[in-house]
Amino acid sequence: MPSPSAPSGASGRSGASGRPSPAAPAAGAGGRALRADCGDCFGLCCVALSFTASADFAADKPAGRPCHHLAEDFRCGIHTRLRERGFPGCAAFDCLGAGQRVSQVTFGGRDWRAHPELAPAMFAAFPVVRHLHELLWYLTEALRLPRARPVHAELRAALAATDALAGGTPEELARLDLSAHRERVNALLLRAGELARAGVPGRKADHRGADLTGARLRNAALRGANLRGARLLAADLRGADLTAADLTGADLRGADLRGADLSGALFLAQSQLDAARGDADTRLPARLARPAHWPARG
């Protein structure tokens, strides 16, 4: 699950659901699709990860145990009704392509039902590869930023290194010092974000890691703001201008984005939008899809 201030939030939680695809799916090193393809996955997010009964999940589930809604064919039995059935956390999740990579590449298409002896290693590998794919996603986003050009070479090197790590064997993934790698990549992403925000003239709000739960930010001028890891749960951001605002890992669950301008927001992930509220007047980057559950008009 996302942790504030470090790259996070590009993935929430889900399963074999059929959500809309972004207009232009992000691609990491080697053009790898950084988007879940549940048809090629053995339902790993619905088994390997844990969740706690809350507003996001209607039940508890420990890591390593299949969700009772997971069908024999690795599809979610309630994927078209996740929100109504109390699983919006699943609806907003994207493994960013880690599930199909672990299923089809790391374990060569051998699934944990037919090969239960592989299950522990497979369930341990999935969250590691998911974190690495999250880093790939952020690095890909940083490379889209023209103002981050001074660090593009370092970003490309980090992208290749991260992709190589994600392609490791189960044993290599188990030995990986993920925290150290995340820290190195996060420092680079911070620099890229700062370079991009520096293009906005004047004073910029710094809300990094701030608790802005329920904050009244209607029509707020948040151009170039630092909102990395900010808690914006149920915040009123109607009509806010978030151009060049860094939203890395910001928690937007239940935030009201109706009429807000996010078209130039930095590091905004589809899963953040999927967890928020918006409408037809919310301006989005072309690469992201308008969530199907948003009303046409507020």
Question: Using CB under 6 A as the criterion, which residues of the chain lie in contact with ligand SF4 when the complex forms?
Answer: 14-15, 17, 46, 67, 69-70, 76, 78-79, 87, 90
Total residues found in the chain within this entry: 298
Least spacing, CB of residue 162 vs ligand SF4, in Å: 26
Least spacing, CB of residue 119 vs ligand SF4, in Å: 16
Of 69 and 228, which has the nearer Cβ to ligand SF4? 69
Of 76 and 217, which has the nearer Cβ to ligand SF4? 76
Least spacing, CB of residue 15 vs ligand SF4, in Å: 2
Least spacing, CB of residue 250 vs ligand SF4, in Å: 23
Closest CA to 198 of 239, 151, 258, 260: 151
Least spacing, CB of residue 46 vs ligand SF4, in Å: 3
Between the two ends of the chain, the Cα-to-Cα distance in Å is 30
User: Which residue of the chain is nearest ligand SF4 when measured via CB?
Assistant: 15
Closest CA to 290 of 111, 298, 279: 279
Residue 139 contacts residue 162 (beta carbons within 8 Å)? yes
Of 70 and 210, which has the nearer Cβ to ligand SF4? 70
Least spacing, CB of residue 269 vs ligand SF4, in Å: 18
Of 60 and 206, which has the nearer Cβ to ligand SF4? 60
Of 90 and 269, which has the nearer Cβ to ligand SF4? 90
Residue 141 contacts residue 174 (beta carbons within 8 Å)? no
Q: What is the Cα–Cα distance from 240 to 215, expressed in whole angstroms?
A: 12
Q: What is the Cα–Cα distance from 154 to 88, expressed in whole angstroms?
A: 37
**Distances from the Cα of 22 to the Cαs of 26, 84, 160, 284, 289, in angstroms?**
9, 23, 24, 11, 4
Q: Is 84 exposed, middle or buried (0-12, 13-18, 19+ CB in 10 A)?
A: exposed
DSSP lists the bridge partners of residue 226 as 206, 246
Least spacing, CB of residue 80 vs ligand SF4, in Å: 10
Of 2 and 224, which has the nearer Cβ to ligand SF4? 2
280: its two tokens: 């037809």
